């Protein structure tokens, strides 16, 4: 059946509006994937997931307490949409502190390849996303970049009853805002994990992971001039755990900077932690 040209657009707008509305009235979502990284998993068709996470990051010159809300929707069995709404409970820097809404991210994940076997699966997905400048950025302590940024990436995973393996590559293009152009970012995540007890459905299920997250950031530019003490590379490493029961999952992890090669006189980051709860319906 053919529909009018406005129908798909209005439906898409309605879907986006619903996601935004849900993010305002409800709490948190993602799937069985790394805690600090992203995997290729998609939620079932028509499924909705909500995730509420608390994070504490000590990044040397900046300390963040973050409440992260994610809403996940399975548009098809292979396409998931995620709306990520970060709220800074407190950000402290040498210049002062702030709290409030950060930059909202809308991410799409399309699983283009899947191979299922008895008790195991391999999957691959492409990632595309847009970050909106919703966080305040005209202050001494900023909550957002002020720019629209784009994200593209590729994620692959092997998942079996016993073993997990994830690999993800992401590139973030950052655009200029008020003459300030933050450096692009390259993120590459590798995670390996295992399930100590092969539990059945409707039993508590634990998966332990070791995650590596490499983050390279280019130098920022102010009206075309490169800024010295910006950008560089940090390689985060740490254990994470996923504990689930039916459609509930609790996830937590801590990461330390195993490698830190930052430009100029930037302080070395200390740690980052995350605890989150996720619900699918």
Partner 1 sequence: MFDQFLKRGRRAALAALLIALGLGGAHAAQAADVVLRVDGLACPFCAFGIEKKLLAVPAVEGIDVRMNEGRVILRLREGERLDLAALDAAVEDAGFTLRKILIEDAVGTLSKGGAGELVLRCSAPPATFRLHLAGEDAAPGAEAGSTVAVSGTVEEYGADPAPLVVTSLRPVAPGSGEETR
Residues that bind partner 1 (CB under 8 A): 31-32, 41-47, 77, 114, 116-121, 159-161, 195, 198-203, 205, 207, 242, 244-247, 249, 280-281
Contact criterion met (CB below 8 Å) for 125 and 155: yes
Whole-number minimum distance, CB 97 to partner 1, in Å? 37
Burial per residue of 54-72, b for 16 or more beta-carbon CB atoms within 10 angstroms, e otherwise = ebbbebeeeebebbbbbbb
The nearer residue to partner 1, 162 or 268, going by C-beta atoms, is 162
Whole-number minimum distance, CB 53 to partner 1, in Å? 16
Whole-number minimum distance, CB 248 to partner 1, in Å? 8
Contact criterion met (CB below 8 Å) for 144 and 102: yes
The nearer residue to partner 1, 63 or 77, going by C-beta atoms, is 77
Spatial CA neighbour of 54 closest among 207, 252, 213: 252
The nearer residue to partner 1, 111 or 174, going by C-beta atoms, is 111
Alpha-helical segments (H) within 103-232: none
* Residue that has been written with the tokens 């391999």 in this structure: 122
The nearer residue to partner 1, 119 or 179, going by C-beta atoms, is 119
Please give the backbone phi and psi of residue 31, each rounded to the nearest 5 degrees, phi first: -140, -155
* Residue that has been written with the tokens 């502190």 in this structure: 97
Q: How far apart (Å, rounded) are the C-alpha atoms in residues 153 and 235?
A: 18
Whole-number minimum distance, CB 49 to partner 1, in Å? 10
Pairing of strands 205-217, 62-74: unpaired
Whole-number minimum distance, CB 50 to partner 1, in Å? 14
Q: How far apart (Å, rounded) are the C-alpha atoms in residues 40 and 32?
A: 9
The nearer residue to partner 1, 121 or 229, going by C-beta atoms, is 121
């Amino acid at each position: 059946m053919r529909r009018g040209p406005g129908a798909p657009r209005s439906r898409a707008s309605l879907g986006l509006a619903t996601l935004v509305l849900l993010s305002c009235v409800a709490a948190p979502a993602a799937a069985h994937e790394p805690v600090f990284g992203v995997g290729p998993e998609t939620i079932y068709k028509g499924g909705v997931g909500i995730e509420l996470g608390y994070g504490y990051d000590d990044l040397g010159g900046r300390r963040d307490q973050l409440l992260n809300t994610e809403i996940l929707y399975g548009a098809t069995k292979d396409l998931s949409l995620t709306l990520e709404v970060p709220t800074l409970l407190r950000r402290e820097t040498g210049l002062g502190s702030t709290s409030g809404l950060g930059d909202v991210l809308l991410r799409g994940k399309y699983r283009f390849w899947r191979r299922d076997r008895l008790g195991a699966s391999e999957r691959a997905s492409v990632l595309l996303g847009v970050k909106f400048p919703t966080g305040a950025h005209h202050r001494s302590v900023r909550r957002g970049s002020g720019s629209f940024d784009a994200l593209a990436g590729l994620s692959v995973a092997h998942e079996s009853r016993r073993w997990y393996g994830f690999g993800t590559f992401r590139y973030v293009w950052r655009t200029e805002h008020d003459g300030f152009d933050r450096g692009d970012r390259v993120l590459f995540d590798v995670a390996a994990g295992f399930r100590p007890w092969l539990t059945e459905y409707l039993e508590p299920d634990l998966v332990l992971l070791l995650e590596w997250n490499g983050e390279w950031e280019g130098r920022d530019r102010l009206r075309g001039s490169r800024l010295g003490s910006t950008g560089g590379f940090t390689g985060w490493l740490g254990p994470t755990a996923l504990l689930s029961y039916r459609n509930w999952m609790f996830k937590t992890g801590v990461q330390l900077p195993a490698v830190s090669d930052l430009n100029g006189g930037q302080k070395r980051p200390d740690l980052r932690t995350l605890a989150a709860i996720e619900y699918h319906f």
